[in-house]
């Protein structure tokens, strides 16, 4: 892996529907060269799959995040599944696992229940994700197209039209709508352990103050090291970054802690990234049975 590979990986993480030609124009190389590098990363299992990540609030669900001590994914899944549907599980270097579950209601009660229930693993932190600005005004047609995109996020518009009996114009308009929604991300799942020469990592910053202003200040300083677009959740900002040096990572974490409005910041180095879509498939299926034409949730 060289820096150009990392930049291609970053483009795909932020929008896997971006064409090889478009990526090449942004990076100053040909579309063919981009495709060859993507094929290389797929062959080495760095890129595991193309994926559409839908934040649960877009479909009217809440999200709980857990930071726990332990790396036994099956054990952690068994316990969190008693509270809600798994969303993702990420074991990290140092014996820490970050995971989240999708819940429908009674968020505060679920937090208390989770704290009591998870006795076999030490819960370091539980917090609710509240993502401002997620538009949930999806139609049944949007969800029908989304259902196909879950199977193949890079599917050609003509292929989706065949499967859904919808016009290419309708599908194009829907995909544009989904791409404009901050709660929907056309992305990839990658294996951090297969990346040589670089270390993907995340810095979770707890904010006491204006989130958008803080993020703007962070972007000015750290954007060249971003692997993905930063993620905002309630009073947290998660920076997804990469570095060729573990000491630089520690130095960057210290710099994040020094940014105005940052109360604290923690460094996480993922060993594995697993997403789960059972909750999404079920939510789409349930809504398609509904008499409603629109989802009307607005998460604030």
Domain positions in the chain? 3-44, 53-191+273-300, 198-268
DSSP 88-127: EEEEETTTEEEEEEEE-S-HHHHHHHHHHH--SSEEEEEE
Supply the pLDDT for residue 298: 40
The lowest-confidence range among 10-19, 24-33, 73-82 is 73-82
Distance from first CA to last CA of the chain, Å, rounded?
40
Structure pTM? 0.87
Q: Which two tokens stand for residue 206?
A: 């707890």
- Note the Cα 159 to chain centre separation in Å: 26
Average pLDDT over residues 247-269: 96
Supply the pLDDT for residue 291: 63
The lowest-confidence range among 15-24, 25-34, 77-86, 90-99 is 77-86
Percent of the chain with pLDDT over 70: 89
202 vs 289, more confident: 202
Residue 235 has pLDDT above 80, yes or no: yes
- Average pLDDT of the chain, as a whole number: 88
pLDDT tens by residue, 30-88: 999 999 999 999 999 999 999 999 988 888 888 888 888 877 778 778 877 778 899 99
Q: Sort 6 into a burial class: Cβ within 10 Å, 0-12 / 13-18 / 19+.
A: middle
The lowest-confidence range among 10-24, 28-42, 72-86, 204-218 is 72-86
Average pLDDT over residues 221-225: 94
256 vs 290, more confident: 256
106 vs 59, more confident: 59
C-alpha to C-alpha distance for 189 and 19, rounded to whole angstroms: 18
pLDDT tens by residue, 149-167: 999 999 999 999 999 999 9
SS3 letters for the chain? CCHHHHHHHHHHHHCCCCCHHHHHHHHCCCHHHHHHHHHHHHHCCCEEEEEEEECHHHHCCEEEEEEEECCCHHHHHHHHCCCCEEEEEEEECCCEEEEEEEECCCHHHHHHHHHHHCCCCEEEEEEEECCCCEECCCEHHHHHHHHHHHHCCCCCHHHHHHHHCCCHHHHHHHHHHHHHCCCEEEEEEECHHHCCCCEEEEEEEEECCCHHHHHHHHHHHHHHHECCCCEEECCEEEEEEEECCHHHHHHHHHHHHCCCCEEEEEEECECCCEECCHHHHHHHHHHHHCCCCECCCEEC
Same-fold call for 53-191+273-300 versus 198-268: yes
Residue 204 has pLDDT above 50, yes or no: yes
Average pLDDT over residues 87-114: 83
The size of the chain, in residues, is 300
Tokens 């797929």 -> residue: 42
Question: In this structure, are residues 87 and 276 in contact, taking their beta carbons and an 8 Å threshold?
Answer: yes
Sheet with 96-103: strands ordered across? 122-129, 62-69, 96-103, 85-92, 274-275
The lowest-confidence range among 111-125, 158-172, 220-234, 246-260 is 111-125
Question: In this structure, are residues 102 and 276 in contact, taking their beta carbons and an 8 Å threshold?
Answer: no
- Note the Cα 8 to chain centre separation in Å: 17
Residue 270 has pLDDT above 90, yes or no: yes
H-helix or E-strand spanning residue 288: helix 278-289
* Sign of CA pseudo-dihedral 91, 238, 188, 127: positive
CATH 3.40.640.10: does it fit domain 53-191+273-300?
A: no
Residue 137 has pLDDT above 70, yes or no: yes
Supply the pLDDT for residue 300: 37
Fold of 3-44: Arc Repressor Mutant, subunit A (1.10.10)
The superfamily (CATH) of domain 198-268 is: ACT-like. Chain A, domain 2 (3.30.70.1150)
Tokens 């401002």 -> residue: 132
Supply the pLDDT for residue 192: 96
């Amino acid at each position: 892996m060289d820096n150009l590979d990392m930049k291609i990986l970053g483009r795909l993480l932020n929008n896997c529907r971006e064409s090889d030609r478009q990526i090449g124009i942004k990076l100053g190389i040909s579309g063919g060269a981009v495709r060859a590098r993507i094929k290389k990363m797929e062959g080495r299992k760095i890129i595991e799959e193309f994926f559409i990540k839908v934040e649960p609030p877009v479909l009217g669900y809440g999200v709980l995040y857990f930071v726990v001590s332990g790396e036994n994914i099956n054990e952690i899944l068994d316990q969190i599944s008693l509270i809600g549907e798994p969303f993702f599980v990420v074991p990290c270097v140092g014996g820490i696992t970050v995971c989240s579950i999708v819940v429908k209601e009674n968020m505060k009660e679920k937090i208390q229940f989770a704290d009591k229930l998870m006795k076999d693993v030490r819960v370091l932190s539980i917090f609710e994700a509240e993502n401002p600005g997620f538009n949930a005004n999806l139609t049944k047609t949007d969800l029908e197209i989304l259902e196909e995109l879950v199977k193949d996020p890079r599917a050609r518009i003509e292929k989706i039209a065949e499967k859904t009996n919808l016009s290419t114009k309708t599908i194009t308009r829907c995909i544009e709508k989904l791409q404009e929604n901050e709660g929907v991300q056309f992305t990839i799942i990658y294996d951090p352990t297969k990346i040589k020469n670089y270390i993907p990592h995340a810095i979770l910053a707890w904010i006491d103050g204006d989130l958008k202003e803080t993020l703007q200040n962070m972007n000015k300083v750290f954007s060249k090291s971003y692997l993905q677009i930063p993620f905002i959740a309630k009073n947290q900002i998660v920076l997804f970054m990469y570095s060729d040096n573990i000491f630089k990572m520690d130095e960057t974490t210290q710099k994040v802690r020094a940014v105005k409005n940052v109360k604290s910041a923690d460094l996480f180095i993922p060993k594995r990234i697993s997403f789960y879509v059972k909750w999404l498939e079920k939510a789409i299926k349930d809504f398609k049975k509904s008499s409603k034409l629109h989802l009307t949730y607005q998460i604030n």
